[in-house]
Each structure stands twice: as structure tokens, then as C-alpha cells.
Amino acid sequence: YSIRETQKIHEEGQVAYDASQGFSDMIGFKNGTCLPFKGFCYQTEKASSVWEIPLHVMDVTLKNHLKLTPEQALEKTVNLISEIGEHQGVFSLLWHPGNCSDEWSLWLEKLYIPVLDLLESREWRSMSGREIIDSIK
């Protein structure tokens, strides 16, 4: 990803949204928001036509970069979800399909499934990127 080039490339490719803008070494608000927004295109010097859907939590960040236990990761994730809920924002979790393996079974049991259960209990909707963008247009 190049901050100066990628927006234009996405526009030329008619990409509707990008959901990759998050930290690899921490969780939270990389762009200072929990709401979708239009990125800035340096070539045209105006807002891009491409929506950015913030990425807040990534599985490998919690386990490999922050070296948290599943319990610590759950606490941090729940706190972040609560903060996003206060702003009626969009919570985005990237769980790589390859991490639905035996090596990650404890993380699935202690983090991934409890997060999904929490979101369901709070009646948060699970939506695709397209559905998110369509809901705000």
C-alpha cells in the first residue's frame, strides 16, 4: 500500500472499497475513526471515490505482534468494541482463514467465538464490505 499511489490505482480499477487500512502491530483506530470514509487521492487532490472501511483488530497482531494471551486479547477487543459502540461505528476484525487451524484452536475458543457471541448479543449486524457501503450511501 502506498499512501500516494494506491487510491488512484483503486479508482482506475473501479474498486468500491478498501478494508485493509489497519495496524499490523497494534489494534485500534489507524485513521482515527470507526466509520467508513472516503480516502484522499493525491493525484487529483480531492476525496477519492473509494470508501475506506477501517480495520480495527487482526488475529496475528494480537497473538504474534502484541504477544497477548487469548484472555488479554479478548479484554482489549471487548473494550474496543464498546468504544466503537459508543460512536455507532463499524467494528472490523480480520481473522485469516488459515488461522482456523489446530495451532489457533485456543484462540478460536477463547477469542474469536466469544467476540462473535458478544456482537450477536449486542445485536450488531454482520455485513460484507459492500453491504456496509450500500448502507451509508
The pLDDT, as a whole number, for residue 4 is 85
- pLDDT tens profile 34-52: 999 998 889 899 999 999 9
Query: Strand 46-52 and strand 37-41: pairing?
Result: antiparallel
pTM of the complete model: 0.90
Q: Which residue has the cell 477519492?
A: 48
**CA triplet 94, 66, 72: central angle to 5 degrees?**
85
> How far, in Å, CA of 133 to CA of 52, rounded?
9
Q: What's the pLDDT at 87?
A: 94
Q: Which residues of the chain have pLDDT under 50?
A: none
In this predicted structure, what is the pLDDT of residue 60?
A: 97
Helix, strand and coil in the chain, % to nearest 5: 45, 15, 40
Which pLDDT belongs to residue 137? 75
CB 10 within 8 A of CB 44: no
* Number of separate helices (H) and strands (E) present in the chain: 6, 5
